[in-house]
Chain A
């Protein structure tokens, strides 16, 4: 049996638009729910979601979109985890968690299709780390 290796696709076409639209709409939906709760923590959460939604569609950020996807995925996981540990249980909260779980599914599909899966992201992360280390003072080209 052969392992299925994801081959990164370009982020164009109707599939990409549908996926990206889904990610942005779900991100903004959960941002709206958190914003509606009021209070500093929920407002900050909404602001981060909003910033990440914008970053998902800004053309200037296209080269590091993989990083935005990972950040959004990590933030959604952390938000769900925070709710599981400390959150209040009421209908709107359950609805919001469903939205965030759907967001995780959309992000996983994007990562699989456009980044070459976790292995592709790992390669990119290593390259980025190497670039950053090389840019440190005293490590650059003389």
Chain B
């Protein structure tokens, strides 16, 4: 292995790595978008959700608008009290948004989180 070849590979790739790291930087700020009628909205920015509590209707399917303002991929997963996934939203890199069609869930308290960054989490309350 020649020294020049090794150095060139590492130097080029370090630059690529720095570029990749920069893609995880957050996109534009701004107020959260409006929730779909009868649904809810949540924003991911700077590796955090914009809220730690989410109210949704119980026993009715609803739409959850998820706005990912980070370059990093995020999603929203809803877990029941036992930690079992009730709903798993699509994981995607931002900036971008998706409207998740969440099936009806029973009244009660759930947890929501990002599956990629599990420290991004909060409480979801389904009220009848």
Which residues of A sit under 8 angstroms from B72, Cβ to Cβ?
36-39
Give which listed residue, B6, B7, B16, contacts A28 with CB less than 8 A. B16
Task: Decide if A46 is an interface residue (CB 8 Å cutoff).
Answer: yes
Contact in complex: A88, B20 (CB < 8 Å) = no
- Expressed in whole angstroms, the minimum distance between the Cβ of A49 and any Cβ of chain B is 9
Task: Decide if A44 is an interface residue (CB 8 Å cutoff).
Answer: no
Taking CB atoms and an 8 Å cut-off, the chain A residues in 15-42 that contact chain B are: 16-17, 20-21, 24-25, 28, 31-33, 35-39
- Expressed in whole angstroms, the minimum distance between the Cβ of B2 and any Cβ of chain A is 7
- Expressed in whole angstroms, the minimum distance between the Cβ of A34 and any Cβ of chain B is 9
Residue of A nearest to B20 (CB): A32
Stretch in contact with the other chain, from B27-35, B52-60, B95-103, B112-120: B112-120
Inter-chain CA distance A38–B117, complex, in Å, is 9
Residue of B nearest to A56 (CB): B6
Chain A interface extent, by class: 20 to 34
Interface of A is mostly: helix
Which residues of B sit under 8 angstroms from A28, Cβ to Cβ?
9-10, 13-14, 16-17
Contact in complex: B9, A21 (CB < 8 Å) = yes
Taking CB atoms and an 8 Å cut-off, the chain B residues in 11-57 that contact chain A are: 13-14, 16-17, 19-21, 23-24, 47
Contact in complex: B24, A37 (CB < 8 Å) = yes
Q: Which B residues are closer than 8 A to A by beta carbons?
A: 1-3, 5-7, 9-10, 13-14, 16-17, 19-21, 23-24, 47, 70-73, 75, 90-93, 114-119
Give 5 pairs: A residue, B residue, CB < 8 Å, sorted on A: A24-B6, A24-B10, A35-B20, A88-B75, A90-B116
